Structure 1
Amino acid sequence: MECGLSPIIGFRFSLHPMTNDFIKVIKGALKETDTTNVWMHTDDVSTVIRGKQVHVFNVAKAITLHAAKTGEHIALSGTFSAGCPGDSAGDVYLDKGDIIANTDITKQYVSSQFALYPMNNPSYMNIIYREVDRAKAQGVFNDSMHYASGIHGDIHEVFAFYEEAFTNARSDEHKHLVMTVSMSINSPSHGGR
């Protein structure tokens, strides 16, 4: 199936609060987040949000931030994806404007790792190196490691970098992109950050 650079992107993620009251943390974060600009479905393993990129990243950050504001140690693991084939559920949300629904500016330290997978792009390593260099220039780069790169800092700066990297790694010629993200928030190992 041939298609242009699809405006639909998705984020499938699992949120893992390190507390016996994990259901309250997860459901509370989902309830406190304005999701009117995205298509969303939650099952017993994960949640997927789909729609325009600006809204998917906004909702992903808001859910993560609301969970973090409980003070509990939170782990998040997810996959952003864009491109063909067959990505159409949630088309109606493409009519949404670009004004974001979630504007909480609470500061929150995040330690995270990401990996970019520019599908079918023979220059994929150049793209990955370019985005790692961008992370270094923006002051959010933390560490190089096998199969990922460490990104840390305030949640707003981290998500801004991730959205920018996701944008920069796509092209009309190479439409399909996958980006995995793992986050740790409020961990005792963060040393009081």
Structure 2
Amino acid sequence: MTNQSCNDSNIAGVSFSLHPMSDNFIQIIEGALNEVDTSKVWMNTDDVTTTVRGKLIHVFDVTKAIFTHAAKTGEHIAFQATYSLGCPGDSSGDVYMSEDESPVNRDQIKNTKQPVAAKFSLYPLGGGNYMDIIYDQIEAMKEHVTVSSAHYSTHLNGEAISIFNGLEQVFQTTVEAGSSHTVMTVSISANSPSHK
């Protein structure tokens, strides 16, 4: 059995899947990946998901840009992701931790208008008052987008950039509040016929 002890790693990571509802799905996915600068993160794609690791700011920058570029095609895009930072943490990939704090994709996508619907669930592991932390962060999301309750998650409506920015802030705040291992699951849908 492997010893999974806590450490002070600040390596963030995400495992995500992008699902274009289109016969053109390969071109949409490859086009989004080609338009995004991934030079400040470690990234690997297998037959199920893509994993991105590095500083939290760059992990969110890359996933936000990939989703935004795919959604601008006008096709129905579904995005599923699990973000994580902390215990038991990463043991490799530190090479990207020396990168600066400047997101390389932000300027390219910052003015993108893309309405989306989303759901997220936040899991601050290793703390006794986790429900207080979760409720505080749900309230914080209201500064960015429309928030409503849903079974097992919180429902969000708004612009894609605002939702991603809010999710990043919520995640960072939870980490800074002392969560030794923070996990967040996210589902986002753009251009769905059911949104109309």
Of 155, 166, 169, 2:171 maps to 166
2:115 paired residue number: 109
Identity over aligned pairs, percent? 49
For residues 16-37 of structure 1, the C-alpha deviation after alignment (integer angstroms, 9 at most, x for no partner) is 0001111111111111100001
**Displacement, 1:86?**
4.3
Structure 2 unpaired stretches of 5+: none
Q: Is contact 2:42-2:93 (8 Å) kept?
A: yes
**RMSD over equivalenced CA pairs, Å:** 1.3
Unaligned runs of 5+ in 1: none
TM-score normalised per structure 2: 0.92
Structure 2 counterpart of 1:119: 125
Which of 134, 149, 152 aligns to 1:128? It is 134
Amino acid at match of 1:54: I
Quote the Cα distance in structure 1 between the aligned partners of 2:53 and 2:152: 26
Which secondary structure does the structure 2 equivalent of 1:134 belong to? Answer: helix
* 8 Å contact from structure 1 (residues 52, 93) kept in 2: yes
Partner Cα separation in structure 1 for residue 144 and residue 163 of structure 2:
10
Amino acid in the other structure paired with 2:113: K
User: Across the two proteins, how many residue pairs are aligned to each other?
Assistant: 189
* Partner-residue secondary structure (3-state), 1:97: coil
Distance 1:130-1:86 versus aligned 2 partners, 3 A rule? closer
Amino acid at match of 1:109: P
Length-normalised TM-score, structure 1: 0.93
Please tell me whether residue 71 in structure 1 is matched to residue 110 in structure 2. Answer: no
Q: Distance in 2 between matches of 1:86 and 1:72?
A: 36
Q: Post-superposition, which runs of at least 4 consecutive aligned residues in structure 1 deviate over 2 A?
A: 171-174
